[in-house]
Chain A
């Protein structure tokens, strides 16, 4: 069957996340970007919505079942409020979700409940590397077998909350295949830089992580397939991009209905109205593509991997186009940092390199 409407449970989650995005994230997001820090209370409140918890089975301390569709719906709503805040709220998922997807039973028992039951726990993951052609399936960070251990070597960047994390998953190439490794904070050879600075996401602490012969026991490898993890990251990315784009569209739309020029509201000019129509169409197109990718993941379909790639690729272009036009619709005001659209445009450009910052 084809069907395009969230079920009741999903709708309840969407509503709850929307309230948080509107009532908490949006009012705080811009100030957080300018002051370069996120209020802890804000992040905690988001965590308590239980988006991650709802996709972890009871056996591991959660109260639901993993659904990429549900995760995508929640991420869309949250990012409407603020991207940096959303990424912070869902950072622990970067650690828990891959273990759920590719970890052994023992790993799940050992790690997931600890993460899930805590109060916005400090766990993260490191995928992105500092190269223009960074490729999640062809990492430069390596894992080699050394006796009973793996030795990890390489450099990671854009690792959220790395400085505070109790443990993180580090992705490395093991004989050419990407694998995740659970690496505790105290591991020798692991060093975390000062916070990195980017064009946006100033409120989100992101770090460079260097691995010099970091030893982890063989039991710390996530031995399952990396493909569904990557696909889930791409679906998350696309969903967040959709949320940001929607926020920008709605803001620009409302502005255009207020702003007067040449005796009419600018929205009454086709040049503006058509931009809005195209923005809305583009968002809807990518949203459906991403929903289908998420659904394919949930249904265990092989095509999910390519579909998620297409969705994330399309989303990166879409969000750039939409946020660029939002700035254009606000004219000079769009360029001024008192208004949030320029921040969304800076967010927008990032999605082409955000794979690894979120997972649903």
Chain B
């Protein structure tokens, strides 16, 4: 091992390509999509689907490489970079438009959950579709009206009907990203799914929590609301009600019996370890967009940033920009470290949550400063700075709020359990 920061060639190439996508497919409609909440940019979605299919990156969830026969055993093996690639990709897409990234087909958090908690057969069955003809979505349904941060308080239930060997699901899920696209049939899209968290034993607490794959159009399931939001308006955030919805036995990810353990909950947490740095990566992308735009606008107005001067000699704007640069760069490196650990099978709960804390903080600060620095132009809807400011805030809320991730970090460094530090 070593300490090194050279961007791997495949990642550099991919980012170069994606930047073109971001510039040509995302940025030009960013404003329009923001102003017309819930409108669907079919063109972008189609394009991304075709593009990802042709590169073999059908699912946005990091996939283990399909077992390939070692063709040239003498050749040195490349170190694994699947998560590093994914984080780099999401950062660039979010730089383009984080709301549109959230409606990029490929499975998102739903597929990530299958990837983290599914059996090999389930992975094959549920993830194959993302390589299909049409763009396809999946979503993750954990949050309920009374249970957000405290995921152990979810009330949705799953009961096994022994006669039909089906699970019967009941409950209400809210704030489901891409919930509409994943569940409501649309002829332009392939059949996707929801991953619904429910308890198979309400007395078992976390030990009873399981994830179920609910296919598009399943009877007894309905999208009841699309939220109106501060930002990421192009991303559908759905409320979903499940009423005696039946899914087959093998829709359950993980074990059907309740042991005296918390494996079900741990499955959810493992998903978070994997996805938190990815969400952090999207925050970094938004922050970078804002900082680059500010620097560009400033230079058009004759201001260049004099790096290298002592603080005492800098103007207030230069200080701000330099601080923003420090925040941005360091946040990105924290993301990279967390996903590098994931790629190398090192436990990364601490680094994942740290990267999320940092990203949630800095993207808010950077975008707030960006609007402030540009004054009335920053506030104007003629430019995207005010939109990024609104988009930014979600980074510190979903996939564990800033507070929840601070708890994770604190428990890790203190060696405390959840009971010792609530």
- Min distance, Cβ B56 to any Cβ of chain A, angstroms: 21
Residues 309 to 330 of chain B near chain A (Cβ within 8 Å): 309-313, 322-323, 325-326, 329-330
Interface size class of B (residues with CB under 8 A): 35 or more
B191 at the interface (CB under 8 A from A): no
Contact A267 B414 (CB under 8 A): yes
Contact B409 A5 (CB under 8 A): no
Question: Which residues of chain A are near B8, meaning CB under 8 Å?
Answer: 1-2
A262 at the interface (CB under 8 A from B): no
Given the known A-B contacts A5-B3, A267-B421, A295-B5, are A286 and B330 also in contact in the complex, defined by CB atoms under 8 Å? yes
Interface size class of A (residues with CB under 8 A): 35 or more
Contact B337 A4 (CB under 8 A): yes
Question: Which residues of chain B are near A281, meaning CB under 8 Å?
Answer: 334, 354, 357-358, 409
Contact A310 B326 (CB under 8 A): yes
Q: Considering the chains assembled together, what is the distance between the CA atoms of A132 and B310 in angstroms?
A: 10
B382 at the interface (CB under 8 A from A): no
Q: Considering the chains assembled together, what is the distance between the CA atoms of A291 and B2 in angstroms?
A: 11
Contact A280 B5 (CB under 8 A): no
Contact B421 A1 (CB under 8 A): no
- Min distance, Cβ B326 to any Cβ of chain A, angstroms: 4
Residues 33 to 69 of chain A near chain B (Cβ within 8 Å): 69
Q: Mark B128-168, 1 if CB is under 8 A from A, else 0.
A: 00000000000000000000000000000000000000000
Contact B312 A133 (CB under 8 A): yes
B331 at the interface (CB under 8 A from A): yes
Q: Considering the chains assembled together, what is the distance between the CA atoms of A110 and B420 in angstroms?
A: 62
Chain B, Cβ-Cβ closest to A296: B5
Q: Considering the chains assembled together, what is the distance between the CA atoms of A291 and B322 in angstroms?
A: 18
Give the interface SS of chain A, mostly helix, strand, loop or mixed: helix
CB within 8 A of A289: which of B307, B329, B340, B414?
A: B329
CB within 8 A of A280: which of B6, B337, B340, B413?
A: B413
Q: Which residues of B contact A (CB under 8 A)?
A: 1-8, 79, 81, 84, 307-313, 322-323, 325-326, 329-331, 333-334, 336-337, 340-341, 351, 354, 357-358, 403, 406-407, 409-411, 413-414, 416, 420-421
Q: List 24 A-B contacts (CB under 8 A).
A: A2-B81, A3-B4, A3-B79, A5-B1, A7-B2, A135-B309, A135-B310, A257-B414, A273-B410, A273-B414, A274-B410, A277-B409, A278-B357, A280-B354, A280-B413, A284-B354, A286-B330, A288-B333, A289-B326, A291-B5, A295-B3, A306-B308, A309-B307, A317-B323
Query: 8 closest pairs, A vs B, by CB?
Result: A5-B1, A285-B330, A288-B333, A273-B410, A277-B409, A314-B326, A277-B410, A277-B406
